[in-house]
Structure 1
């Protein structure tokens, strides 16, 4: 499967038109149509539905689009690593992580490394543990920052000497805001907003002393910033990690920790036997220095 043809295919998927894609690719329509037809014959599947007004993707076409984007991202990442200078360390570092205040640990390492090697650039992707480890396994990121109990057996990793604290984000005028801590029974009859990862966490439901079917989970979220707007409008109480939303000053919201305390462990992971670029190697070295300083 030729990378160039995959790029043609992605152009058509973006433009939803072979004619428009041909213009952006600076080629004529007939050879582009032929390349696409050859691609469909190679994979043995129809990838495009050629309508009178626009081109749409079949289910197989949507799958190929996702995989093609991943392959081209990996190819570009590899090219950048190979083209990096042998005299001065430069290049791209790709990091994935969940929402956590511990990202400041990565930022601190990056800040110090940047003073030594200003030509190193960083790319941050957000997502839960499933999304981060998928990108890591496919080679699309170099490092992952994972929150909570996750299986790290197939990775090399550093457990951070810090933890995040779970609690409840709520309007300051809500009845539960009068409490200093929140117990499980306080939430049994409340509309709850929980993260996607927490919604399938046995640890969270063990703390809640209830299974999902007995709780009123009205919403799940990926980013607590987005969920906080629903909290402000009274949609529900968000179970979230501390220090992610500003609750000081004139903020409409407040945060109360869970009791008994429920903490989320944190670790930085990377693939075993990973062949790092010089930039990624230097970043890992700096992370280890920061870790040794903090423990």
Structure 2
């Protein structure tokens, strides 16, 4: 049994037709049919039930389909890993990163990594956490930099230090000029400007504290929250690191004393997929920096 036999069989299994599989593989139908028959003869079992217009996998065919996927993925991973070794620590690292509150953290992490591995180039994809996780699952990026909360199923994770949310406002909205910290309850009935990513978290936490939040504006970027708050339109709620995203000279910043609203940036990857040497080194670098942050 050769790798090409497995490749042909997977194409047939996925297409459900030999004609469609042959077209996808760009080979003639008769040779593909012959390859399938030879594979069945070699294994001594029927792999498909042939119908007039389509075929269906037998129990043995289903087993082979699952194993063939694993074998071909492992073969591809081995090839890439050997190429990584041959190239040394060079090549391009594809990273997906949240475009708002993770930007400052990523700048520090990438700068440190670049100092150690100057030959590495980067391809960065930006978006919200859900977009980055989708890119990761599709194989478009190898490492994702996202912010909690998110579904960790099938993901490997390395977390940065936990950080609080802050309330940002202009002087006209400041009800306690001498306070640098506030309780969540102090935001009751106040016009809140929030990044939609945190809407559910903020809503549920406020309800636990006995009130429903007054969302004046929901948006898709922490920079919008900062801009609207800077214009005096309401009180923004953002993660502390997002303060670095813009010019906020007009804004008064108060830390919200509520553990339930603390979030963390995390580096994530797919557990059961091949990870290049570049990505592994980046994760190691991210983890070391995060450990140092946690010790401070």
TM range (shorter): 0.5 to 0.7
Output one character per residue of 1:224-257: Cα deviation in whole Å (capped at 9) or x when no partner: 2232221122222111111322599981002111
Q: What is the alpha-carbon distance in structure 2 between the residues aligned to residue 112 and residue 228 of structure 1?
A: 28
Provide closer, same or farther for how the CA distance between residues 194 and 274 of structure 1 changes in structure 2, counting only shifts above 3 A.
same
Q: What is the alpha-carbon distance in structure 2 between the residues aligned to residue 191 and residue 90 of structure 1?
A: 50
CA drift of 1:263 comes to 1.2
CA drift of 1:139 comes to 1.0
TM-score norm. by structure 2 comes to 0.60
Match of 1:252 among 244, 250, 264: 250
Write 1 or 2 for the structure with the bigger share of helix.
2
Tell me the secondary structure at the aligned position of residue 166 of structure 2: strand
Instruction: Provide the alpha-carbon RMSD of the alignment.
Output: 3.5
Structure 2: gaps spanning 5 or more residues? 1-76
Answering whether residue 186 of structure 2 is matched by residue 147 of structure 1, we say: no
Q: What is the alpha-carbon distance in structure 1 between the residues aligned to residue 251 and residue 245 of structure 2?
A: 5
Whether the 8 Å CA contact 1:91–1:119 is kept in 2: the answer is: yes
Answering whether residue 272 of structure 2 is matched by residue 273 of structure 1, we say: yes
Provide closer, same or farther for how the CA distance between residues 177 and 266 of structure 1 changes in structure 2, counting only shifts above 3 A.
same
Q: Aligned residue for 2:196? A: 196
Whether the 8 Å CA contact 1:171–1:177 is kept in 2: the answer is: no
Provide closer, same or farther for how the CA distance between residues 139 and 185 of structure 1 changes in structure 2, counting only shifts above 3 A.
same
Whether the 8 Å CA contact 2:230–2:250 is kept in 1: the answer is: yes
Answering whether residue 157 of structure 2 is matched by residue 157 of structure 1, we say: yes
Structure 1: gaps spanning 5 or more residues? 1-77
Q: What is the alpha-carbon distance in structure 2 between the residues aligned to residue 247 and residue 127 of structure 1?
A: 15
TM-score norm. by structure 1 comes to 0.60
Q: What is the alpha-carbon distance in structure 1 between the residues aligned to residue 104 and residue 244 of structure 2?
A: 16
